[in-house]
Amino acid sequence: MGLVFLWERWYFRHVKSFLQTIEWLEFQKSIGRKTWRFDDGKVITNIVQHDLPFGMNYLYIPHGPEINFDNITGGLKNELEQFILYIKNLAREQKSIFIKIEPLRDSVIELLYGAGFKKSSKEIQAHKSIVLDIDKPEEELLAGMHHKTRYNVRVAEKNGIIIQSTENVDAFYELLRKTTKRQRFSTHTKEYYKKFFEFFGNANGQCCAEIILAVHDDRPLQNVHSKPVAGGLMLTYGDTCYYLHGGSDHELRQYMAPYGLHWGMIKFLKTRGIKHYDFGGSETTKWPGITRFKLGWGGRQVEYPGSFDMSIRPLWFFVYKIVRKIF
């Protein structure tokens, strides 16, 4: 048994997704989505309704369901049948076209695949991520980086790049907007990020969000001379910090601010006792540059099962897939 296999088995057994917390469900409700939670102590999952044009919708289960095998005593088949019956009835009540699940573990979809879920090419959560174990000495983390990443970290330090926590959603969003325009991918609206930060931007719950900006001098952020060069939206849950979204000013790329941003964040997280830093989605064909950047830190590429759909209204589901291919 290889070390990578053993690590992945441990990771998937112990790490749970913030997308399956009650807090995430409450946030979804706060932005106007219908939500439900199925929890019989054995099968547990968040369910979120996503609206589509023309009054249509689908039900979405992010990084779930979670199956507590230790609590199942009356037969796994019966427990799963009850869960499937529940979500099918819910989908029919809501006139949903289909149900989409993106489980965290292969074992879950292996159990549910025969119930009618089929592989989907349309993913909401990326099915690959880069996870770096940061519970190591800094010297060991630096040694594990690609030599170009290590060099660029040093360049950022020489340029005086430091990180600062801020509530300035506008500054973060401007950096994100520049990056999405340059890289040609879509993101949420500024209003979404403001609501996200308002909801998670405190340390009272299980999930805690922070906006981190990298600046190229050590003056206070509100000082006009202190220029944000890169920024990231981070969310900490358990012993893992997730890099959710980020951007940088390409015109000031010589500062190597994204390297200073992540290295500064990693060092800061270590002081909090955080053990894992999840760089988020990686896909060589879709985001080659971003993926190379994330892989350069020496983390492990974690692969999730992907996206699976169950048709509830076959005709409308067929129309939906055709329209999605066209647009």
Q: Under a CB-based contact definition with an 8 Å cutoff, are residues 112 and 100 in contact?
A: no
Residue 5 is predicted with a pLDDT of: 43
Residue 203 is predicted with a pLDDT of: 63
What confidence tens digit (pLDDT) does each residue in 233-290 have? Answer: 999 999 999 999 999 999 999 999 999 999 999 999 999 999 999 999 988 888 888 9
Residue type at 219?
Answer: R
Four-point Cα dihedral 122, 126, 128, 131, nearest 10:
-170
**b/e code 212-240 from CB counts within 10 Å (16+ = b):** bbbbbeeeeeeeeebbbbbbbbbbbbbeb
What confidence tens digit (pLDDT) does each residue in 270-286 have? Answer: 999 999 999 999 888 88
What is d(CA 44, CA 52) in angstroms, rounded to the nearest whole number? 26
Spell out the domains of the chain, with CATH numbers in brackets. Answer: 3-125+305-326 (3.40.630.30), 128-303 (3.40.630.30)
Residue 217 is predicted with a pLDDT of: 66
Q: Under a CB-based contact definition with an 8 Å cutoff, are residues 209 and 233 in contact?
A: yes
The ranges of the chain with pLDDT < 50 are 1, 3-12, 219-225
